[in-house]
Each structure stands twice: as C-alpha cells, then as structure tokens.
C-alpha cells in the first residue's frame, strides 16, 4: 500500500514560486543595524559545525574572553545571548528581579521606557525618574532618588539610541554600593565605539547587541553579570521565570561543564568571534578615537550646512547623532529619498522626538570618513529641494 494514499491532498493555496533572494546594497547610517564588516560576513558563510563540537566549544571561550576585553570586565558570567539586544536586556532583569523588588529606572529616552516596561512584567515595584529627551542625569539627582526609594536595582541607559545622549558614569557605581543597590547598564549603542569600563565604574549588569559597534549582523545579545548580581540571582526564592534566558542554566552550557541547553546559533557566533577579534586587533583606544574623530567630522559638517544638533556637545554620542529636522521639512520623506534614490538609510525619531530629528549612526565598520563625506554631500545637494517645498507659499483659496 502506498504510504501516501491515506493522506489528504496537499493544499497549494500558499505556495509561491519566487526568484532567489536579491537584496540591494545599502549603506546603513541609521540607529542600527549597521553594515557588517566583510570579514564577519565571510565567517557567517562558513559551513556550520555542531554546537557541542570541541572546536565550537573552544570558540565559545574565545568569544567570552574577547567580550570581557570589549567591556573591560573580569566578570565570569559573560556570554552572547542567543537573541537580539532586547533578549539580553530582558535577561538582566529576568535573572535578578523577584516579585516585589523595587527597581528604579532612570529614563531619559525611549529605551529607558522599555527597561521600565520589562521590569514591570517580572512583577517588580517599578519607580522612575525622568529627564527631558536630550539631557542626562546628574549624580545629585541619582543620589536623591536612591535615598528616597532604596531600590534593589538602578537601571539606566549609557548610550540612549533615541536621543544621542551619553550618560556620564563617574560616581554612579559607588553610589549604588553605598545604597546596597545593583547597577544595570544598557550599552547597546556604546559597546565597541564609546569608552566603557564596567569594573572600574562598578557596573553589576550590562547588555548590548551584535549589530552596532561590533560590526556584526543582528542576532546576538552580549550579556555580563558581576559577582554582586550573581549573588542576588543565586539567592532568589524561586526559579528564574524565563527558561530560555535563565543564566543558571546557560552557565552550565557556557561555563566549564558545557552541558547542552539549546542549539546555539553557531554561525552567528562565528561572526561574533571575528567581529571581536577585529576590535581587539584595532585596540579599544583606537576604535574609540576613530568613532570620535568621524563623529566630530559629521557634527562640524552638519552645522556648517546650517543644521542644528539635538544633543549638547559634552553629552553627544560618537556612535549616534540626532539632527533636528528643519521647520516645515518632511523628515520621513527626505529619509525615504535618501534610501530609494541613493541607497542610504538614516533613522527618524522615536517617542517624544518622533518627526523632530533624524538619527545618524556611525558605528563599527561604518564609522569611516568616506561615509561621513558621502552623507554630508547628499545633505548639501538634496536637502535644499525639501526646504524649498516647505518654504513655498500656499496659494490663497478664493
């Protein structure tokens, strides 16, 4: 008897005959992802090996050590989460927050709001302090909030992708220790491009992503947990309420035991290994200086064109620049023009800055003078037509 005789007929209602994928080349100068380094792309295309293969296990250790270098930390629990930066963000909270824990979130942009939302989902008692979207917190404001609320965790964003603001970190870690509070830091738009010293700053938990300063495609979320955070996790009353992101389980895979937890994205970690190797080869100081130099080139060029930058210079991120859209100009239409005609992506504003700013990213492999000059040339030659449309008088209606 034919084994298929008793099966119903195969529906073809969703079958599609498509051409092989053929995506255009884009220069990604938005808030992320950025273009991956060619060497990273070559690594991604290598033949996969098993996620428990001894060669892969060796590579896992290399990735962990290189991440410690990039973050300037000795944290034992330093791994790339199999997921995007948002998964790593959630992992910091899932592993340390217990129901009723007070979590203080310092919000100065969109991703501070996301931290507060995530903490609430783990039944934290969330309290917030806020600054306008274009400012940073002072040490005095943070101390007042810590003294008032006495939280278990202070969560904040180092490099706020929505505003282009870099939070000064001097003294914050010491404050958290004075108030017996963990310091959780979002480094999504700073890792690899902006000075980071997690251990010197007293940061207990941090996360990032693969697709910005590390010159890798999206898909991995670097995560690190210091001894104080690890102690809180191990003392919790119940299991971590997220199985996939449970570091007590993941550490058995990424730690010395190498016990199977999930099928890791092997090729993504090939790419991460090469991205981090290239960063170490360049040297952190050189990478930070390169990002700063190219950002200053961009800032100077935009201001010479009469455009206004949103962030004050002493708080500006070298990796992400917010530019105020001129009055009357349709910012989204100009962004689409750059994308459709010139193959260049720049981002628009989020939240309180929606429709008010463009967000220009110079991160990782994309932070190069030729990319700055190409974009400035297009702003100089193409934006006047959009300004002219905004300034054109509207005909009177009879």
List, for residues 312-342, the tens digit of each pLDDT value: 999 999 999 999 999 999 999 999 999 999 9
Same domain (yes/no): 203, 317: no
pLDDT digits (tens, 9 = 90+) for 58-71: 999 999 999 999 99
How many Cβ atoms sit within 10 Å of the Cβ of residue 203? 27
Same domain (yes/no): 195, 271: yes
Residue 87 has pLDDT above 50, yes or no: yes
Average pLDDT over residues 22-31: 96
Q: 247, 281, 315 — which closes off a domain?
A: 281
- How far apart CA 115 and CA 126 sit, in angstroms, is 10
Residue 393 has pLDDT above 90, yes or no: no
Domain region containing 70: 38-281
Give pTM, 2 decimals.
0.94
Residue 258 has pLDDT above 90, yes or no: no
Same domain (yes/no): 232, 290: no
Average pLDDT over residues 4-18: 86
C-alpha distances (whole Å) from 123 to each of 67, 116, 370 are: 31, 11, 48
> Residue written as tokens 């092997």?
266
Same domain (yes/no): 174, 234: yes
Same domain (yes/no): 101, 125: yes
> Within a domain: residue 17?
no
**CATH number, domain with residue 380:** 3.90.1150.10
Same domain (yes/no): 153, 213: yes
Band of pLDDT at residue 397, cut at 50, 70 and 90: very low
- The count of domains in the chain is 2
Average pLDDT over residues 193-214: 98
Same domain (yes/no): 331, 296: yes
Same domain (yes/no): 227, 294: no
Residue 25 has pLDDT above 80, yes or no: yes
Strands 182-186 and 153-157: parallel
Q: 281, 316, 337 — which closes off a domain?
A: 281
Name the percent of the chain lying above pLDDT 90.
88
Band of pLDDT at residue 117, cut at 50, 70 and 90: very high
pLDDT for position 250: 94
Same domain (yes/no): 179, 307: no
Contacts (Cβ under 8 Å, ≥6 apart) of 24 = 343
Same domain (yes/no): 207, 275: yes
């Amino acid at each position: 008897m034919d084994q298929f005789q008793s099966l119903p007929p195969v529906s073809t209602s969703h079958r599609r005959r498509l051409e092989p994928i053929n995506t255009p080349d884009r220069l990604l100068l938005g808030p992320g992802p950025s273009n991956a380094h060619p060497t990273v792309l070559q690594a991604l295309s290598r033949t996969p090996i098993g996620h428990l293969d001894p060669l892969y296990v060796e590579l896992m250790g290399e990735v962990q050590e290189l991440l410690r270098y990039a973050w300037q930390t000795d944290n034992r629990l330093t791994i790339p989460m199999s997921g995007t930066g948002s998964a790593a963000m959630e992992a910091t909270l899932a592993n340390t927050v217990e129901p009723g824990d007070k979590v203080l979130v310092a919000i100065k942009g969109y991703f501070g709001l996301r931290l507060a939302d995530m903490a609430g989902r783990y039944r934290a008692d969330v309290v917030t302090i806020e600054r306008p979207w274009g400012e940073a917190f002072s040490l005095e404001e943070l101390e007042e909030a810590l003294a008032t609320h006495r939280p278990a965790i202070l969560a904040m964003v180092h490099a706020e992708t929505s505003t282009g603001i870099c939070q000064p970190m001097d003294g914050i870690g010491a404050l958290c220790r004075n108030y017996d509070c963990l310091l959780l830091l979002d480094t999504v738009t700073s890792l690899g491009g902006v000075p980071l010293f997690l251990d010197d700053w007293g940061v207990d938990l941090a996360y990032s992503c693969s697709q910005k300063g590390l010159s890798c495609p999206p898909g991995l979320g670097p995560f690190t947990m210091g001894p104080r955070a690890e102690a809180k996790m191990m003392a919790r009353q119940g299991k971590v309420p997220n199985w996939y992101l449970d570091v007590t389980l993941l550490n058995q895979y990424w730690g010395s035991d190498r016990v199977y937890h999930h099928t890791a994205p092997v090729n993504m970690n090939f790419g991460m290994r090469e991205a981090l190797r290239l960063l170490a080869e360049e040297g952190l100081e050189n990478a930070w200086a390169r990002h700063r130099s190219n950002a200053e080139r961009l800032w100077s060029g935009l201001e010479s064109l009469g455009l206004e930058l949103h962030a004050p210079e002493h708080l500006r991120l070298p990796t992400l620049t917010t530019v105020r859209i001129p009055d009357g100009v349709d910012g989204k239409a100009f962004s689409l023009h750059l994308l459709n005609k010139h193959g260049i992506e720049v981002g628009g504003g989020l939240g309180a800055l929606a429709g008010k700013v463009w967000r220009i990213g110079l991160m990782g492999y994309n932070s190069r003078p030729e990319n700055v000059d190409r974009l400035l040339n297009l702003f100089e030659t193409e934006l006047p037509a959009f300004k002219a449309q905004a300034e054109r008088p509207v005909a009177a209606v009879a």
